[in-house]
Structure 1
Amino acid sequence: MRQNDGVNTVVDGADAAFEDSPTDRSTSTADLEARLIAAVDIAREAVEASGEGAVGEHIEAVVEGDCTVSHYFAADITGYRGWVWCSVLATCPPVDAGDDIDITVSEIALLPGSDALTAPQWVPWSQRIAPGDLGPGDVLAAPADDPRLVPNHIDSDSLQSESDLDDVSAVMLELGLGRTRVLSREGRDDAATRWFEGAHGPDSDMAGASKLHCGSCGFYLPVAGALRVAFGVCANEYAADGTVVSAEYGCGAHSDAVAPSGEGSPAYDAYDDGAIEIVPAAPAENAPTDNAPVVAESDTVPSDTVASVDAPTEAEVAPVADESASADS
């Protein structure tokens, strides 16, 4: 018995003799693969018989191994652009040289092609979660081997057994320390990097526009521990209230900021009515000047002369009326 890709095939004496000849086996295998490649209709009928969707044109045939060939067809299915049908055909050498071979359909599958629209690669939930995703009622437990945390005030290398750890934990609780783990050096470095490069770090736009820094502000509450000299919490309700800020961060609400002079608007500024400001006035456009020409009385035109020029007299109009009357008669 010979096992080929999970399929057991009975080998009788003739087939055993066939296996003893590498040349004959190679020639026979190539012939079988050629027959499988040519069996496009069988592969298509198998996909159509499944009734899963329309089958398009034949794309290619790929030899997967000895006596196994995969036929790929275009999948004409709405919503599956670029997907292909895969029909896997298999066979085995005949017992007698003159016998026909039987072609078997091993499996049928709908697979995405090179230009298929597929879902993005799955990422575990622990790697997908991002800052800001935690909501009310959510539980986000730190892993037991979280490199950001270390036992509180404990040198684990000096402990000889679990009983020593239990004893130290009991003493910690009695002293009111409470926390069994605290930030490690790696955890502190990660937090400091995020805060320093974040929106409340020295490179932000707000800090660049301010001349004063949080380290000298009365609203600045330094954090405890190793990060005390570099970070604190803002206590100004009009600024970054309740947010960790860098000591080099700054804003316009600094406790030492000086308000500009005035009342904020010229309409409310104090007015000194005792001060006189002399402003040169420009000459009026229609005001007469000393060099303006004077019109003599002899140069004026009488009113009756103007009327005789503009309006026709009765003597000039009458002949026109008489001519029109004679023409009508």
Structure 2
Amino acid sequence: MPELTDAQPTDSQPAKPTDATLLAAVDLARTALLEITSDDTIGEVIGHIDEGDLVVSLLFDCLMTGYPGWRWTVSLSRVDENSEPKVLETELTPGDDSLLAPEWVPWSDRLVDDDIAADADESDYDESDDDEIDDDPDDDSDDDPESVEDDADDSLDALDALDGIDFDEALAAAELNPGETTEAEADADHGAPQPPTRSRRARRP
């Protein structure tokens, strides 16, 4: 039985030359670009890309400020070798040395990164609080439980001093004897200094 061997690749067919009619359709491509941009932003043809199957992309230099290395790309095609070129697509594409924006990061990933950074900042803040030194080393009232108890006792003593006062009886007495309050107010008014009165001189006859 003959030994099986791997099939050898046949000689590849020579590449077909780029369609000359599509390469010559520069005016058609420029007219298509004028529908999406102004004439002063379109430079000269700087190259082309043979997409195959009668499809060619013509590359125009982009003269817009802020887009160095970019190029206007117009894709042209023909149905067959006897038909006229048609415009498939127009777009602005980056070149090999073009200035590009940073890589896009999804919002969910950016949110996670922000949360991680916030947690790291919060942990650093907590550690700095633990390392802080008390401004007054002699003042240990916050740490001494006896000082806290003394403050509580002082508050209770202040409340005990009011236990012997009957506020309801004092208010009732003031309502039953309103005249005493009026007299006390009058006495206070008489005791206060009064403004001088103007004296009238007797008119001479």
Give the TM-score range, shorter chain: 0.3 to 0.5
Greater per-residue helix proportion: 2
Q: Which has the higher contact order (CA 8 A, sep 6+)?
A: 2
In the superposition, the TM-score normalised over structure 1's length comes to 0.30
In the superposition, the TM-score normalised over structure 2's length comes to 0.45
